[in-house]
Amino acid sequence: MSEPEGVAQDSAPLRARPHFSILVTAVCSIVVAIYVGLPLGPLLRDASPLGQLDRPEESLERLVTRELDLDEALRHARGWERRVYRALSAGDSPIQEALTWYDELAETIDSSEIELRRAILTGESGETDRLEERIARWKEDHGPSARMAEWVRAAYLGTPPSAETGHAFMAEIRDAIEPNWFADTLSQRLADRIGDAKTRALADSHILARGRVLQQRQRLLWTLVALLLLGACLAIVRMLTARSSARVGDAPLPPDWATGDGYALFVRALGAPQAIVLVLYFLLRQAAPVDNVLVIAADLPIFWWVGRYLRERDSSIPASFGLVPRRDGWARLVGATLILIGVALVLDAAIDTSGALVGLKAHWADGFSEDLLWQPRWAFVMTVFNATVWAPIIEEMTFRGLLYGTLRTRLGVRSAALLSAGIFALPHGYAVAGSLSVLVSGILWAVAYERTRSLLPGLLAHSANNIMSTLWVVTLLRL
């Protein structure tokens, strides 16, 4: 995508400039500065993303048990499927990775259940010396941990227990632990030690049955990704062979508003909703279940501010941001959207893989959406709507329509795209790998806006990106 020649000068508007309160602009600017810069604190201090979670223990247990169930199913899968899974997970041992996560969690939360899961993962990784040390520390506790230590020792260390003791331990495990990978794995090891092939086979079947359900869901997700990539390839071929214009809409770029006006609109669009949400949070502290409704309501003034400004300039939101495709632009809209989705999928995979190779693999809690796991159904529906529909609309109008457009009154395409994408990435608060992914997406959507003269391709690709992320969490972790 080539950069247009020259940059539009900041010309005087045709009509009298709408009045923007200096006080409101200043307050919104402060809020934006805090909102954009606040996530930098934890990043610069290298703080753990665990602090962003409300239920880290339950979330990690769900993640690890599902991943290890799935890994067991993939051991019985075709070779190509195992290789694809290993490549996408950067080839890490899931048990060793889970142990690393639990070691970190144990530093922040004191829990006998966490210690039990750490011990099982340590035993499965073959670190017997480390397991001995852990059990020795447990023996100082005369509560539940001491009994758990007996289970683990009988399963992994020393002389095998008698059949009677082994069966008694397995009965205690069934009563004390939710049936999942940890409980079944501990029963497997005890059954092995006492020579109970029937119980061992039963525990194996439980893990495999859960894993195969997850495997089928993952196959459906992979099929969806493959179809999107195929659609992107076909769209690229058509674009290269047709050699037609990429225009979808007729948004003026650079826009015809003044730089100062664009800045005032941007800080209102980004800062005012944050201030409103903050005030409502303190006034309605007990209204947590309606958080998503409040967030959506707080965003509504954006449309009033922007719409009023554009109407006074004989324009509108659809016309200024190319939201109504040209008569010949519908096919281009589909093609551009598919290309953006496909390129983003490939680049995200490349970022994840290369990041893991250089030691910058994303932390499991980085961007982890607990709401999608633990919210009740009606609140869950609102969260999904907010993430997949509302947020892409607001963020594209704010960061591409207003911020990128305003930067284009002073800068070229490359500089404006990079700067707007950087400001877009900061508030997400992700670590290096996650922030790089958001940065790349922001650049893609900005350049697409420039080439197509419409926010629609980037908006639809943004929504598709969030839908895919939501589907992975919901199908593999919530259901």
* Domain identity same for 248 and 171: no
Residue 348 is predicted with a pLDDT of 92
CA-wise closest residue to 260 among 17, 23, 37: 17
Residue 45 is predicted with a pLDDT of 57
End-to-end CA, the chain:
41
- 46 conformational bin, left if phi > 0, alpha if psi -120 to 50, beta if neither: left
Q: In order along the chain (479 residues), what is the average pLDDT of each group of 10 residues?
A: 46 53 94 86 67 93 97 86 74 87 93 94 94 83 80 95 96 94 97 96 97 96 96 94 89 95 96 87 61 88 94 95 95 97 94 79 87 92 95 97 98 98 90 88 97 98 97 96
Whether residue 11 lies inside any domain: the answer is no
Question: Which tokens hold the place of 204?
Answer: 């194996």
* Domain identity same for 289 and 359: yes
**Would you tell me the crossing angle of helices 259-283 and 291-299 to the nearest 10 degrees?**
150
d(CA 59, CA 22): 45
Residues 396 and 302: beta-carbon distance below 8 Å: no
* Domain identity same for 301 and 449: yes
Cis-peptide, bond into residue 94, ω within 30° of zero: no
Whether residue 3 lies inside any domain: the answer is no
H helix and E strand count, the chain: 23, 0
The size of the chain, in residues, is 479
Residue 1 is predicted with a pLDDT of 45
**Would you tell me the crossing angle of helices 301-311 and 291-299 to the nearest 10 degrees?**
10
Q: For residue 328, with 0-12 CB atoms within 10 Å meaning exposed, 13-18 middle and 19 or more buried, which class applies?
A: exposed
Whether residue 268 lies inside any domain: the answer is yes
In the block, tokens 């594209």 appear at 396
Residues 187 and 170: beta-carbon distance below 8 Å: yes
Residue 15 is predicted with a pLDDT of 47
* Domain identity same for 472 and 380: yes
* Domain identity same for 41 and 105: no
Phi, psi for residue 128 in degrees, rounded to 5? -65, -35
* Domain identity same for 249 and 201: no
CA-wise closest residue to 406 among 301, 294, 256: 256
- 126 conformational bin, left if phi > 0, alpha if psi -120 to 50, beta if neither: left
* Domain identity same for 317 and 463: yes
* Domain identity same for 187 and 329: no
* Domain identity same for 309 and 160: no
* Domain identity same for 302 and 445: yes
Task: List, as one string, the DSSP characters of 451-469.
Answer: HHS-SHHHHHHHHHHHHHH
Residue 415 is predicted with a pLDDT of 97
Residue 430 is predicted with a pLDDT of 83
Question: Which tokens hold the place of 131?
Answer: 């397991």
* Domain identity same for 61 and 115: yes
Task: List, as one string, the DSSP characters of 421-452.
Answer: HHHHHGGG---HHHHHHHHHHHHHHHHHHHHH
* Domain identity same for 203 and 262: no
d(CA 250, CA 443): 20
Q: How many folded domains does the chain comprise?
A: 2
CA-wise closest residue to 205 among 178, 217, 187: 187
Whether residue 7 lies inside any domain: the answer is no
d(CA 102, CA 122): 10
d(CA 385, CA 370): 15
Residues 72 and 208: beta-carbon distance below 8 Å: yes
CA-wise closest residue to 344 among 415, 424, 439, 425: 439
Q: Where in the sequence is the domain holding 139, given as residue range(s)?
A: 56-216
Which spans in 76-127 are helix H?
A: 79-88, 94-108, 112-124
Whether residue 233 lies inside any domain: the answer is no
Which spans in 109-196 are helix H?
A: 112-124, 128-138, 144-156, 163-176, 181-194
Residue 5 is predicted with a pLDDT of 43
Whether residue 338 lies inside any domain: the answer is yes
Residue 217 is predicted with a pLDDT of 97
**8-state DSSP, 288:** G
The dihedral built from the CA positions of residue 227, 228, 230 and 235, taken in this order, carries a sign that is positive
Residues 8 and 450: beta-carbon distance below 8 Å: no
Cis-peptide, bond into residue 289, ω within 30° of zero: no
Residues 94 and 71: beta-carbon distance below 8 Å: yes
Whether residue 13 lies inside any domain: the answer is no
Whether residue 174 lies inside any domain: the answer is yes
